Structure 1
Amino acid sequence: MARPKKRFQQLLEEIDRTPWGPAEQALVSEAVALAQEIGDERLEYEARMRQTASANMNGATDVMLNSFAWCLAHHDADPQRFPSDLDYGGADLMWQFKWMASSLRSSPAFSQEQIVAVLDDMESHYRTAGLGLSGVLTARFEDAWDAGRIADAEALRVQLEATPRDEHSHCDACGRSQFAGFFAETERDADAIRLVEEMIEGGFSCGEEPEHALSRVLIPYLRAGRGEEAKTAHLRSYRLAKDNPDNLRIVANNIVFAALTGNEARALSLVERHISWLAHDGLNVDAHFAALAAFAFALDRVTAAGHGGTPVRGADAPALEPFFGPHDGAWTAQELAATAWATADRIGAEFDRRDGTDGHAQSLGRMRALADEQYDVPIRSDAFVAAPAAASPVDADGWFDRAMELAQYGAEHETLEALPRASGVEDPYKRAQLLSMRIGILVALDRAAEAAALLPERVAALRDAGKDVQAALEERLGLATFGLNTPETTADLEDALADAASLPAWSRGDLAISRASLHLQSDEADAALDLAEHAARAFAEAEDTRLSNTTTLVAIHAVLSKGDIESASSLLDRFLAQDDLSIGHRAQALQTRARVRGGSDAYVEGATDADEACRLLAGLGATQALAAAHLLAGALWEDAGQPEKSLARYRVTARLVAQEGGDLAGANFRLARAMLAVGDTEEAAELFGTVLEQEEQAEVPAASRAMTASMLARALTGAGEYGQAVGAFGYAATLYGEAEEHADQAVSMTEQAKILARFDENDDALALLESAAEIVRRAPDATGALVEVLHNLGQVYGGRQDDRAFALFDEVTALAQEHDAQWLLADVTDSRGRALAEIGRIDEAVAAALTAADAFAEIGDTGAAGGSELFAARLLAGNERAGDAVAVYRSALEHGAEHPPLRQVAGLELGNTLEALGRHGEAAEVRALIES
């Protein structure tokens, strides 16, 4: 038995250091099973006490109730062997009692008598154990509030506030959150906000705090006219709550906020993301009630915004049938809203019958009353994408034209979708063209067998159209003229071209363009260009404008593959000036020119082309192609330094990719990056977190996940979430280490250290920087990373009066000189001066600071120049050289002309220095100057 018991102790240690979640739950289950296998009830008690806490945190109510009942029975039977407190850092048995009444109340399957019995049993145990009654009063308050007995709840709240706190009272975070929620529900918004702000300012947190508290004051903030604070609270609350299904109630509050504030698309997105949570905990029916009401309200708002017909993804899952019933196909927003209201009404009535009150009916009444409220607090992470402005063709000939336009652009999937609708055309040559498009696309999609099976039908259609020569040619060549690239098809095309003189012009052109395309696939640009010219002459002779233009596009791509950007640009300009281009050809040419212009740094012009391509594709209903076109437009506007415009394009991309399929994580990454660029840091952090989840699930390479984690950390830093940012930078560093990306790993560690130093965690910051310095030297060619790490480490050493700083500054100086990095050279000189000052070498420090100031000024950074001078002046003034400091202060004041904070500080200090020197008139002049 020694080995299983040793394993059991290892499991307990691992459980106690593992965060709540699936991994921790699995360890707890293993510990319980192992204790049962060993046959030791004392060990089982230790495991089950942890199981109760684990189940509570993870929303496994049935497991929690069973585990607690087992533990309580064993404690009551033998308190010595099964003590209420195992002193392991988790909740003790008397604390866990508080969860029981709440859990019974959360399901109408448990009667009021059962709830009262648990509350009475809890009080009896507390009194027997000599414990304070704060925990009992808290449980009774929650019971009265949840049942809708508001007067009783208020009396208990007052009594609870007057009762001394003890070790079984709610923590500061939970207590404030609970009362804030009660105040918000009873229309005491100011009190609710005050409690939550006290909680945030005090840094109080707990298992589901501050996210629950923040969600409770969202509507009070809105009603107080504090929309921006409400938005910040929402984004933080949702970001912290979104990964745990036990937080369903918190997410519900955030969904209502999104719907109330004009963010209907975001509300719908959150409903879709979390609707599956309804099936997570079958006994937490009160959370189901709250979520269903929130979903219904949100979907009503979606419907009112004109999107009631939008499918709600995930709502038709079999696990949700107990809530919504069976449904044929996807639920629309409007349909699901009505059903969610009905289910919430049913559940609320069951609770009210159980409680003998109308508490849940009143709750639904308050939710419905929100229909009269509206607040404008835009959030840009989600938006409805307007359906492409494409009028659907009314007959087969119209669909033929649509399919032709889509094919000319190269929208393979959309063309395949359009082809069946055009199949009723009567013209046999049109039928032949439809078959040609289908065969060519199937070949391009590596479905050659399916393509070959259609050849007889294509040949027959050509003969029906009187194209006997072309029919015979294709019958002989098979898939060679449809893009199949094999040695056999290449040889067949070469032979046919050699004997093509007697063929009609159209057939000669078809052979030439087919072979040109294969040359292009094989990077044989000159040969492709030569044959494209042959094809162009043949199609001109055949008077086929469509294929003449197709040939021109092939020629342009051949010129581009040769790297002749100037000639390709000229060809594109002339091509787009033609008035005989189809929509598909024009969109393709615009997109090509957009890429060419982007590659030539003409980003605005390229982005303008991409936007026009998007407009044309929208008119064709080419949704998959449209997503890629918007992605290109977004990238070009981003490169043009106009992130607001890129944000709009990326948002469309992300929504279309979500609807049509594709790389959603990639689209969301770009969208989040644009949000970060425009300063929407909270929204960027939320979306980067979602991208990281998507990448984790897809098991993308560590380096890609590391980049996302790093961007998440930067967004969290910008949002002021420094604790989470430290963790995110640390995770990024770990992932970069796995990928052996040493430079990026070191930079992530450096960013982590900067935040720690900001909060005076200096020893930890130094240890990180020293490790980063060792790691970055494994990537000696990554000069930027090497400089960043060594410079930061040198600054920390300098601040600690450690002479090792100067060797690092020497190394950074040498790298700056080697790479002609003038700003870096000035900056490291400034750092040297500050380190010299720390060890009392004042003259050298002043000289270094003034040298840095001159260097900054020479490259036009007057703010940095003034900063170095201000530092030098302070050194002089503080070391009995006030007279010398005056001139330096004056120079800093001059450099601060375009930097008001610098100018103000330099002027004030100069005035004080002049006063100390007895130069009162000059001091007055300086003060008057900075006040003007």
Structure 2
Amino acid sequence: MPTAPQTTDALYEALQENDRRPYGRTRTLTAEELVDAAEQFAQPVPLIHALLELQEAYTYGSEPRKSPVVFARLISLFDEQPDVFDERLRHLLFWRFKWVAGALRALPEVPLSSLHQWLTEMRDRYVKADLGLQPYYGQAYQLAAHLGQDTDLAYELWAGRTRTPFSDCEACETCERARHHLAAGDDERALRAWEPVLAGKESCQEEPARSISYALLPLVRTGRTERARALHLAGYRGCRRNPSMSGEVGRHLEFCALTGNEARGLELLAENRSLFEEVDSPLDLLDFLTGVEVLLQRVEVLGHGELPAAGYAGRTWTVAGLRAEVRRRAEDLATRFDARNGTTAHTDRRRIRLDRAPLLDALELTLRTRGLDEVAPAAPVAAPAAPATALVPESLTELILHARALDEQGHPDEAACWKRLRTLVTARSYTHPQDPTVGPLAQLRADLLTDEANRAGQNDEYADAAALYEEAAGLYEDAGAPGHAALARAGALLAEAETPGQDDDGTEAKTSALTATHATMVSLHEQTPDLAPYQEARLLRMRATALALRLQTSRSPEHVEPVFAEINLLQAFASRHGLAPQISGARLLRATTHALSGALLAAVTEADALLDQLKTHGPAWHLPRTLGLRGRLQLGLHDAQAAHADLTEGLRLAADWPAEAVDTTRLHGDLAEACMHLDRPDEALRHLTRSAELSLRHGNRIDAFCTYSNAAQLSLDLGRVEDCIALLDSLLAEPDVASGELDDRLAAQLRLTRARALHAGEDLKAATVEFVALAAESAGWDDDPASHAMIAGETAVLLGESGEFDRAREAADQALAAHARAPRYEPLGNCLRELALLQSRRQGAEGLAAALAYLADAGRIADEARAAGYEAHGRSLDTALAYEYGRVNAHAGTYEDALAALEKALALLGEPGAEDANRAGEWAECVRLASAVEGIYLERPAPALTRLEAAISRLISLGHTEDTEPLTSLAARLRDEE
């Protein structure tokens, strides 16, 4: 707080501002300062308000030790000056007796006698004030449940009484009743009691998040796994990072541990690391730590005790180390509570939670499902596990020869051999075989460098690949292997040509580079004697590849035939020598070249022939790649069903080979596209997320995050709001995203989608905070003012929805300034019209001037769009503007202006035709609103009825009967009022 309020008005304004802040240290510290400020006025009422705000901050900021102290001051003020407490303040005071009772239960250092004494005080005060005692019995029950004694009697004394205005809200009492049944072992009865809260019919500040956390395990135990999954996503978001709901966070961690989602549990633990330090309530902390321990225990049992875990600040923790520390602290807390209470209830409850067996092997909770192996830190492994199809010889000599034999064939199992050899060769104890069939160590090192270069090229790391190939070529020459050296130099040439240049437009430069690369390769081929057939075929294939890449870059028709000429050479040579992999490679290149030249049908014909050949002669590992190509060709021909079949089969066959052999990432991505064409978005979503996670595993983080961004948007479009938010929360928690290392625009896109999802999920406060932050950041994007215009416009709308119209106007002005540099006609016009409507709805005639100003801005944008020849995707900007003028004026009570605007909108829309189903609905709604303004507010029912009857007749004649119902209903109302 920059300066203390100098007047009571300023104090009340500061209190209101603080009330909008989230609970936590900032709000609490400000509340403390405001109490100090209130005391200077020597007036009881401002001080009472400040103390109430402070107690609320302590209660929901998980500081139970301080809440009773503040309340004691309030009680003293009430006893001294009861008349200054109006009805509202008196209600708040008596309501908060329950808060103090909860705070005292949460502190094991408070004697049990003091808890009973406070309940007696509460009862006496309620009786004296002639208030019903149901709230008192509610607190008596909660104490009994806390102690684990006489709960059934206490429950009956509370639950059987009639509620009073001072009873806990319906949602909170529902939770207590359900927890009582849960403690008795009756899951079904508990869930029946919880249903109104879980269904969203009852809620409060902490509900339904609290109830959800308790209901998760009963839902799974009773087979309602999908409901549990959905509620976990929604409920966790309602309590994460919230110190006063740390126990709820702990139960979500426990849920993850018992449903095969240990990796997600560790992710959520990291997100809530601050709770280890921020929770000042011993009871909440015990609840939280027990949930943490359940998770860590499960991870350790699964053999991952050395995984890193987020724990207490100031130290790096492993799962095992943190589990030991958490167990020590939680046991101490449970012992302290039991000592205070004279029971073993808290130790027993801990034991029950820790002894629970997993309920499910795996429940897919989020769109990004990972196992513990996938979150383990990278570490060198003595002998990487080989794919099931790979047989890696034990003998070193046999291993080297086997790897080279597989390399000659291009067999995917070579990868396992090279990995094994790399581990052996880099060991300090390595001794190279003295066997002439193996060759010198330099040749083996060159083999390993070539394999590394191949993998770098597959990951588009062309500069690294070129350097590795060059180093390998030198070693091959030293080893007296000129054929291998030539292949390595050809690989370096291709990689160098693929390396991005510094040109703004590198098309011409890259085309020239590839032309030169091909010429150099031809020369290299001619100058290298005694090439083995498989080596010569590879050189021919790289020559053809260079020209194919040139065609892909230039898209010039004159570059098509040279590619086919090289492919013909390759295919003839490979056929003459019986090199099945290179015959297949030639045909793949031929099909791809047909596709690049626009001859998709010819490409499909070639792919068909190749598939027949592969099924008969092999190599079988080329089948997934060829099916993937044919699937993409079918997409190009708009045959999504055929594409889906090919891609699905390709993905099935890919499982037979090592991951490095087949681009399953792309197969999943292409399948997602096919599914979207087939209107199977849920299936598309699965393939998108799988493709993204595979990219992430292979180190292609930008590609992965781009694909995940598309998946998040699709899940939002499907209405799977919580899935979208959970996915983005997981991505935004990735270390390189959180630290700002990821591309800032891509990170901003992830945050923007999340903000839109929060808005769609009706979390207006969180959405507005994120939008405001993004608007501030995007203001500095000088190279992309269009994005800033869009973000600032959406931010303005959210601020308008929150009633912050001054800030909304500022954001709208920012959007307009950015729009002047990079027009966003339709999105910004939509935002301005929405702002006008929001202000007129909220403020009526008082907000009309501001609303009309927004519409004037929208009008200027419509004029600009018209001048630029821009066509809106929906109804025209002019029509939309006229319609909004009608609605804004109607809300402001200027009905003649409203009617004139709506009639203009109707004229611009024009009467719909038989095929105009969408426009018929818009037109009917405009007729309805114009008739309501005229018939009801301007009290001219006759012309309004004439308008309605004509519209109804028109719609029926065109077959749009579904649009007539609201018009018929309004007509009946107007006839009744005549």
Q: TM-score under structure 1 normalisation? A: 0.69
Q: Does 1:142 align with 2:142?
A: yes
Quickly say closer, same or farther: Cα 1:9–1:648, change in 2 above 3 A. same
Q: Which SS does the other structure have where 1:184 is aligned? A: helix
Cα deviation per residue 1:838-857 (whole Å; 9 max; x = unaligned)? 433334422222222222x3
How far apart are 1:371 and its partner, in Å? 5.0
The residue that corresponds to 1:743 in the other structure is: 826
Quickly say closer, same or farther: Cα 1:323–1:228, change in 2 above 3 A. same
How far apart are 1:734 and its partner, in Å? 1.8
Quickly say closer, same or farther: Cα 1:439–1:680, change in 2 above 3 A. closer
The residue that corresponds to 2:17 in the other structure is: 17
How far apart are 1:359 and its partner, in Å? 1.1
Q: Which moved more, 1:670-679 or 1:821-830?
A: 670-679
Write the distance in 2 (CA, Å) between the matches of 1:390 and 1:563. Answer: 38
Match of 1:57 among 41, 56, 60: 60
- The 8 Å contact of residues 244 and 279 in structure 2, kept in 1 or not, is answered as no
Cα deviation per residue 1:468-501 (whole Å; 9 max; x = unaligned)? 26637967x8932544557897657645645854
Quickly say closer, same or farther: Cα 1:406–1:157, change in 2 above 3 A. farther
The residue that corresponds to 1:363 in the other structure is: 349
* Alignment of structure 1 residues 336-347 onto 2, 5 Å: none
- The 8 Å contact of residues 483 and 518 in structure 1, kept in 2 or not, is answered as no
* Paired positions, count: 842
Letter in 2 for 1:612: E
* Alignment of structure 1 residues 421-500 onto 2, 5 Å: 427=438, 432-442=446-456, 445-446=460-461, 448=463, 452=467, 455-461=470-476, 464=479, 467-468=481-482, 471=485, 479-484=492-497, 485=499, 494=519, 497=522
Letter in 2 for 1:158: L
Q: Which SS does the other structure have where 2:964 is aligned? A: helix
Write the distance in 1 (CA, Å) between the matches of 2:291 and 2:666. Answer: 34
How far apart are 1:358 and its partner, in Å? 2.1
Q: Which SS does the other structure have where 2:613 is aligned? A: coil
Q: Which SS does the other structure have where 1:784 is aligned? A: coil
Write the distance in 2 (CA, Å) between the matches of 1:383 and 1:872. Answer: 51
Quickly say closer, same or farther: Cα 1:171–1:321, change in 2 above 3 A. same
Cα deviation per residue 1:90-114 (whole Å; 9 max; x = unaligned)? 997887675566456446xx3352x
Gaps of 5+ in 1: 858-863, 881-932
- The 8 Å contact of residues 666 and 691 in structure 2, kept in 1 or not, is answered as yes
The residue that corresponds to 1:631 in the other structure is: 669
Q: Does 1:240 align with 2:238?
A: yes
The residue that corresponds to 2:794 in the other structure is: 733
Cα deviation per residue 1:334-384 (whole Å; 9 max; x = unaligned)? xx8x99899867764554344321212443465478659889999775667
The residue that corresponds to 1:519 in the other structure is: 550
Write the distance in 1 (CA, Å) between the matches of 2:38 and 2:31. Answer: 10
Write the distance in 2 (CA, Å) between the matches of 1:291 and 1:377. Answer: 22
Letter in 2 for 1:865: T
Quickly say closer, same or farther: Cα 1:748–1:188, change in 2 above 3 A. farther
The residue that corresponds to 1:541 in the other structure is: 573
Q: Does 1:578 align with 2:571?
A: no
Quickly say closer, same or farther: Cα 1:830–1:147, change in 2 above 3 A. same
The residue that corresponds to 1:827 in the other structure is: 921
- The 8 Å contact of residues 885 and 902 in structure 2, kept in 1 or not, is answered as yes
Cα deviation per residue 1:188-222 (whole Å; 9 max; x = unaligned)? 77875676556689965432123223444556677
The residue that corresponds to 2:650 in the other structure is: 613
- The 8 Å contact of residues 235 and 686 in structure 1, kept in 2 or not, is answered as yes
Quickly say closer, same or farther: Cα 1:625–1:751, change in 2 above 3 A. farther
Q: Which moved more, 1:492-501 or 1:129-138?
A: 129-138
Letter in 2 for 1:734: T
Letter in 1 for 2:668: H
The residue that corresponds to 2:310 in the other structure is: 317
Write the distance in 2 (CA, Å) between the matches of 1:531 and 1:692. Answer: 48
Write the distance in 2 (CA, Å) between the matches of 1:684 and 1:761. Answer: 31
The residue that corresponds to 2:540 in the other structure is: 509
Write the distance in 1 (CA, Å) between the matches of 2:975 and 2:83. Answer: 67
Write the distance in 1 (CA, Å) between the matches of 2:539 and 2:361. Answer: 66
Q: TM-score under structure 2 normalisation? A: 0.66
How far apart are 1:72 and its partner, in Å? 5.6
Quickly say closer, same or farther: Cα 1:619–1:438, change in 2 above 3 A. same
Write the distance in 2 (CA, Å) between the matches of 1:450 and 1:30. Answer: 58
Identity rate of aligned residues, in percent? 17
Q: Does 1:272 align with 2:252?
A: no
The residue that corresponds to 2:390 in the other structure is: 393
Cα deviation per residue 1:547-573 (whole Å; 9 max; x = unaligned)? 554455455555544444344444433
Q: Which moved more, 1:358-367 or 1:73-82?
A: 73-82
Write the distance in 2 (CA, Å) between the matches of 1:650 and 1:2. Answer: 49
Write the distance in 2 (CA, Å) between the matches of 1:638 and 1:2. Answer: 54
- The 8 Å contact of residues 745 and 772 in structure 1, kept in 2 or not, is answered as no
How far apart are 1:393 and its partner, in Å? 3.1
Q: Which SS does the other structure have where 1:319 is aligned? A: coil
Write the distance in 2 (CA, Å) between the matches of 1:391 and 1:4. Answer: 72
- The 8 Å contact of residues 323 and 343 in structure 1, kept in 2 or not, is answered as no
- The 8 Å contact of residues 212 and 232 in structure 2, kept in 1 or not, is answered as yes
How far apart are 1:146 and its partner, in Å? 1.8
How far apart are 1:815 and its partner, in Å? 5.6
Quickly say closer, same or farther: Cα 1:773–1:10, change in 2 above 3 A. same
Cα deviation per residue 1:253-298 (whole Å; 9 max; x = unaligned)? 45666788xxx35575356324653625454454454456556767
The residue that corresponds to 1:155 in the other structure is: 154
Quickly say closer, same or farther: Cα 1:733–1:369, change in 2 above 3 A. same
Letter in 1 for 2:60: M
Gaps of 5+ in 2: 375-384, 393-398, 426-431, 502-508, 773-790, 798-811, 866-870, 936-940
- The 8 Å contact of residues 266 and 381 in structure 1, kept in 2 or not, is answered as no
How far apart are 1:784 and its partner, in Å? 0.6
Write the distance in 2 (CA, Å) between the matches of 1:638 and 1:526. Answer: 32
- The 8 Å contact of residues 135 and 170 in structure 1, kept in 2 or not, is answered as yes
Q: Which SS does the other structure have where 1:143 is aligned? A: helix
The residue that corresponds to 1:852 in the other structure is: 955
Q: Which moved more, 1:365-374 or 1:503-512?
A: 365-374
Write the distance in 2 (CA, Å) between the matches of 1:733 and 1:412. Answer: 53
- The 8 Å contact of residues 308 and 318 in structure 2, kept in 1 or not, is answered as no
Q: Which moved more, 1:78-87 or 1:602-611?
A: 78-87
Match of 2:681 among 608, 618, 643: 643
Letter in 1 for 2:246: L
Q: Which moved more, 1:835-844 or 1:397-406?
A: 397-406
- The 8 Å contact of residues 45 and 71 in structure 1, kept in 2 or not, is answered as no
Quickly say closer, same or farther: Cα 1:536–1:156, change in 2 above 3 A. closer
Write the distance in 2 (CA, Å) between the matches of 1:313 and 1:11. Answer: 53
* Alignment of structure 1 residues 657-676 onto 2, 5 Å: 662=701, 671=711
- The 8 Å contact of residues 253 and 292 in structure 2, kept in 1 or not, is answered as yes
The residue that corresponds to 1:602 in the other structure is: 639
- The 8 Å contact of residues 246 and 288 in structure 2, kept in 1 or not, is answered as yes
Q: Which moved more, 1:572-581 or 1:12-21?
A: 12-21
How far apart are 1:637 and its partner, in Å? 0.8
Q: Does 1:865 align with 2:961?
A: yes
Letter in 1 for 2:172: C
- The 8 Å contact of residues 826 and 852 in structure 1, kept in 2 or not, is answered as yes
